[in-house]
Structure 1
Amino acid sequence: MTQPDMLPRAVETVLTDYLERLDAERVPSLHGLYLVGSVALDDFRAGASDIDFVAVMDSEPSSGLRERLAQVHAGLTEAGGPHLDGPYLTVEVLRRVPTDYASVPFSLEGRFRDGEVCREVNPAVWRCLARHGRTVLGPPPSKLGIADDGEVLRAYQVGNLRTYWSRWIEQAETALAAKAPGDDASATALAWGVLGVARIICALETDRVVSKSGGGRHALAEHPGRWHPVIREALAAHEGAMERVPVETVREGLAYMRAAIATATGQTAACNDRT
């Protein structure tokens, strides 16, 4: 196993266990194993973050091999620790621009999935792997010929804001409407929403791949001061400083998300208007 520089101890422990289980289940050697997500972007938080990976195989796994991979991931989940989540792909898949999610074997929330659509087959993961992927096994990402298409990525990110995140805001607003005066709400949800949108906005504005924390820092630097208090609250929640926040804080977070999405999708210039 290649030793990526300065991996968190929890990540090293899970990776070592994973590779030992692959060997025990007689899984053929992977062509490559790469870390993406929070580990690759230096935003991994022990006890809160998952370990996101992309595993590259020489050929599509047979049904028998998929069963053995399922045993590997079941054993990891039973052992505890951060979930090890990601897709199993061939290098040929990485060399095609992903224009839609695909059905490939993958692990999500610690459970191996087969015959389901994997949302990690997307241009954002390809970009993160190409620019920031950390090599555990195999050649560096630069040698894989990853199809990193900026225009496709931008369209995907705008579509993600218009669909997933707009629906998320609506669902959150419905949940908050049922809250009584003085109630509180989940700080984790505040961080997930505000920083999840902020990182996409940062990518659209700078062409960079950033973590949730990086997206929050970008928002503090570039977005109007009106939003800074709720962005700081979201960053603090992301760091685990609190578990609950006032309902009004979440409402302000949703207002920021709506303004940022409207700006990014060309509906208004409200979020970045500094006048």
Structure 2
Amino acid sequence: MHLPGAVQELCVRFLSLVPEGLVTGLYLTGGTGFGEWIEGQSDVDFVATLTHRPSDGEVEQLRQAHEQMAASSPIDFDGMHVLVSDLASDPRKLPPVPVVLHREFRIGHLDQLVAWHELARHGVTVTGPQLSPLDIWTDRHVLHGYTVDNLDTYWRTITDQLATSSVDEPEAELDHACCWSVLGVARLHHLIVTAEMTTKSGAGRWGLSYYDQRWHRVLREALRLREGGHPEYDDQVSRLQDTTDFTAYVVEAGTGRPGRASSRLTREARAARPPPVERGAVPPSSIVAIAHQAPTPLAGSRPPVPSTWAMTSSTSRGGMGWWATKRR
């Protein structure tokens, strides 16, 4: 795959800064793996394989490498540093490893269950052995349950946050809330419905053919905020209402359980909900069995249950500061 110039530059810089001989492979996941790159919107998600668990000194060198990268580029370079042998094992059993998220370097975890599946299905090799011959652990039933659990926990909480948000918040934060929430939950629901992964923009376009027309306006607006175009709304009140209602609707549709915010939905919207029988869907009995098997998150940097597709929350900052997060 031909990488965008900015992505290639970041990868080359990373490899030039890490301790010599430590990194055996560099692989890209996230939107880049699907060929999606939107200037000013996309970041770079990576998995780096190492020759061995890094020593304290090597961890410090990795930290310095990421600090130098953050100082030289506005693009986030988010990911983890693991062993090749880790990829063959259940990612929920991965020990704490060096990770970086939003330029914050720590020892912990970073949605490795999702990363393993993205590597196996859509990973991009920058350097090192090709991914196709590697033994990478995957389990579609576990991934499905993990995704349902993510909607049922993190995104249900976000829905409640949206329901109490104000249009007096800064416009940039309201824009981000719409784009991130609408495409974020649609991306998870796409996986539940189709058993396939996709990008944020891919989920938005899929939603325009899957969801009732009631939701098309807010889907087009979320895509517009991500990709550019003409606004679909001329007032923040209607957009925030639709963002809240759509997020609540997808949480309910994806989990089969209503929430507090779902009471805002109209009877018309409820009646238009797509049927729950979907391609690649896992039977409910298997979902229940694995719904709460999410890996232990990195303390202090992530919600109680990490996302299928991504990341962190800081609701204590007040207002809509909790939008300064990453959910894949």
Q: Tell me the TM-score normalised to structure 1 length.
A: 0.87
The counterpart of 1:135, out of the listed 121, 125, 136, is 125
| Superposed displacement of residue 242, structure 1 | 7.5
Read off the aligned partner of 2:116 and give its amino acid letter.
W
Map of 1:11 onto structure 2? 7
1: CA distance, partners of 2:204 / 2:119 = 21
Contact 1:38–1:44 under 8 Å retained in 2: yes
Pairing 1:199–2:187 present: yes
Contact 2:27–2:46 under 8 Å retained in 1: yes
The counterpart of 1:168, out of the listed 134, 151, 158, is 158
The counterpart of 2:243, out of the listed 241, 244, 253, is 253
| Superposed displacement of residue 187, structure 1 | 1.3
1: CA distance, partners of 2:144 / 2:90 = 13
| Superposed displacement of residue 98, structure 1 | 2.5
State percent identity of aligned pairs.
Answer: 34
1:4-39 deviation line (CA, Å, top 9, x unaligned): x221111111112112222xxx33242211000121
| Superposed displacement of residue 102, structure 1 | 5.3
Map of 2:21 onto structure 1? 28
For the structure 1 residues 231 and 99, does the alpha-carbon distance in structure 2 shift closer, same or farther, using more than 3 Å as the test? same
Q: How many residues align?
A: 260
Which 5+ residue runs of structure 1 have no aligned equivalent? none
Contact 2:99–2:110 under 8 Å retained in 1: no
**Structure with larger RCO (C-alpha < 8 A, sep 6+):** 2
| Superposed displacement of residue 266, structure 1 | 2.0
2: CA distance, partners of 1:228 / 1:50 = 26
Pairing 1:118–2:109 present: yes
The counterpart of 2:91, out of the listed 95, 98, 109, is 98
Map of 1:38 onto structure 2? 31
Map of 1:80 onto structure 2? 73
2: CA distance, partners of 1:242 / 1:14 = 32
Map of 2:202 onto structure 1? 214
The counterpart of 1:147, out of the listed 137, 161, 174, is 137
Contact 2:155–2:185 under 8 Å retained in 1: yes
For the structure 1 residues 14 and 185, does the alpha-carbon distance in structure 2 shift closer, same or farther, using more than 3 Å as the test? closer
Contact 2:25–2:50 under 8 Å retained in 1: yes
2: CA distance, partners of 1:62 / 1:184 = 42
1:176-204 deviation line (CA, Å, top 9, x unaligned): 3xx46xx8962121110000000111111
Question: SS where residue 65 of structure 1 aligns?
Answer: helix
Q: Tell me the TM-score normalised to structure 2 length.
A: 0.73
1: CA distance, partners of 2:49 / 2:88 = 12
Question: SS where residue 81 of structure 2 aligns?
Answer: strand
Which 5+ residue runs of structure 2 have no aligned equivalent? 259-269, 276-328
Contact 2:99–2:106 under 8 Å retained in 1: yes
Read off the aligned partner of 2:243 and give its amino acid letter.
G
Contact 1:188–1:238 under 8 Å retained in 2: no
Map of 1:272 onto structure 2? 274
| Superposed displacement of residue 100, structure 1 | 6.9
2: CA distance, partners of 1:38 / 1:241 = 20
Runs of 4+ in 1 over 4 A off after TM superposition: 240-245
2: CA distance, partners of 1:32 / 1:101 = 18
Contact 1:36–1:132 under 8 Å retained in 2: yes
Contact 1:184–1:246 under 8 Å retained in 2: no
2: CA distance, partners of 1:132 / 1:233 = 27
| Superposed displacement of residue 96, structure 1 | 1.6
2: CA distance, partners of 1:99 / 1:248 = 41
